[in-house]
Structure 1
Amino acid sequence: MHLSEIPQKLGQTRTVLLLGASLLAMLVFGMFLANADRGQLVDETRQLQHSISNLQTENEQLQTQANQLDIKLELAEMRAEQLKQEVVRLEEVVFNLQKDKAFYQHVVAPETTQDGFFIDGLELFETTTDGYFKATMVLLQQRAVSAIVRGDLKVAVTGIQNGKHRILTSDDNAILPEGNVTYGFKYFQPVTLYLQLPENFEPESIEFTTTVYQYKRRRG
């Protein structure tokens, strides 16, 4: 090798070293960036896992609260049903007490009531014949000094026929095949009557009216 070639060789070596150093620096910088990105991804992953854990905990708490509310709702519905049944029972008790009170008031202390009589124990049955109903009741005297009361018991039935409200009376519509009920009693009189209602008539209520006569005088 001539002395003149040494500077040329040194220049080439310097260039190679610079390129190597540059490549090494780029490699180190790339590894640094990769580690930085990896660390950021790890942090983000941890944050996401923490958020997921919090959401799972919150979901479990909400599910527990929902289950508790379902149980409370079921208990409230059961209590409401019990109260409803209790109200129905008490209404029945009150009705029976009022009925007993009315009966004893009219029988034992009729002087506290108005003239005439009252109807007790009314029961209405549908017979095996279409449109025919059977009614049973007891007519009870109301006056303290019981004398025979007389009169005719008339009937009016309110209901729906072909979608229209209608009132049928024993005077105008012949709903009593045997005619108006004629009564005459001193203390009480059992009564049985039959109602004949037209086709497609749906009864809703029944009303009795009469003019009471005592000693040939009108009493109520």
Structure 2
Amino acid sequence: MIISDLKNKLGAFQFYFILIVSIAATLYAGFFWGNAHYAQQQMTISTHEKSIQNLKLENEKLTKNLNVLGVELEVARLTQQQHVVEIGKSIDVEKDLRTQLAFYQQVMAPELNEQGFLIEGFNLEPALSDNSYRFELVLMQQNKTKNTLKGSLKVTLIGSENGKAKQYTIDSLLSDQEQKNLTFSFKYFQVIDGQIKLPKGFQPEQVSVHANIFQFKRKKGELTTVFNWVINPN
């Protein structure tokens, strides 16, 4: 059925009325659907914006917490470093006090040592030449009645070389040929010093000092003292 037949059947008035109503209904339905779709889109956009805002807030919170943790970690690291330095200083002070106490005990209370002869210390410091060191060997007499003590020393460096145990006598390493003979003669104390050059590859760990002691041309005894190889800074 064509439009003209329908128009003739219904009449012009009814035909145009139905046509207008149909067009209006179509427009209304389209407008209603458009509004509903727009509202749905706005709701979806609003939900996404809220999610984005929540994520931003959470990110800011996490960033702040991370910064706080970073500061706390740095403070803890600096505090630990300071404690390590303070402990090291305390250990050094204790060592110095023990050394001083031992020295004054040896001078003021010689009865603490029955030998009457003491190898008090072996001090080391680096020399200018590579692998060279200056040393001082301190000898003391502790008897209340001071008589001249004489004797000879044998100083041995104990360590390793190329992964194997190795020893060197210090007289074979002395750079000053005039001090080849390590002898002593004193009443109160004597300091024997010199400079040595270590063989390449040799790593010293200890120093053994052996003394043959004579008094009034008679042998009084022997004494061996072992020191750790410790280099004092210049």
TM-score (norm 2): 0.75
1:22 deviation in Å?
3.3
Return the letter of the residue paired with 1:174. Answer: S
User: What does residue range 1-220 of structure 1 map to in structure 2 within 5 Å?
Assistant: 9-11=8-10, 13=12, 14=14, 17-115=17-115, 116-120=117-121, 122-128=123-129, 130-159=130-159, 161=161, 163-170=162-169, 174-176=172-174, 177=177, 178-179=179-180, 181-198=182-199, 200-215=200-215, 216-220=219-223
Unaligned runs of 5+ in 1: 1-5
User: Structure 1 CA distance, aligned partners of 2:222 and 2:159?
Assistant: 31
Residues 212, 108 of structure 1: CA spacing in aligned structure 2 closer, same or farther, 3 A cutoff? farther
Conserved 8 A contact 1:152-1:181:
yes
The percent of aligned pairs where both chains have the same amino acid is 26
Tell me if structure 1 keeps the 8 A contact 2:150–2:213. yes
Number of residue pairs the alignment of both structures matches: 211
Report how far residue 159 of structure 1 moved: 4.7
1:158·1:205 contact (CA, 8 Å) conserved in 2? yes
Instruction: Tell me, in whole angstroms, the C-alpha distance in 1 between the residues paired with 2:76 and 2:193.
Output: 48
How far apart in 1 are the matches of 2:125 and 2:211? 23
Query: For the residues of structure 2 that align with 1:15 and 1:99, how far apart are their CA atoms?
Result: 125
- Cα distance, 1:192 vs. partner? 1.0
More deviation, 145-154/25-34: 145-154
**Unaligned stretches of 5+ residues in structure 2:** 224-234
Q: Which moved more, 1:182-191 or 1:92-101?
A: 182-191
**What RMSD over aligned residues (CA atoms) do the two structures have, in Å?**
3.0
Residues 161-217 of structure 1, C-alpha deviations (whole Å, 9 max, x = no match): 4x434423218x92245435122333211111232322x235443403214435423
Give the structure 1 partner of residue 227 of structure 2: none
Residue 52 of structure 1 and its aligned partner are, at CA, apart by: 1.3
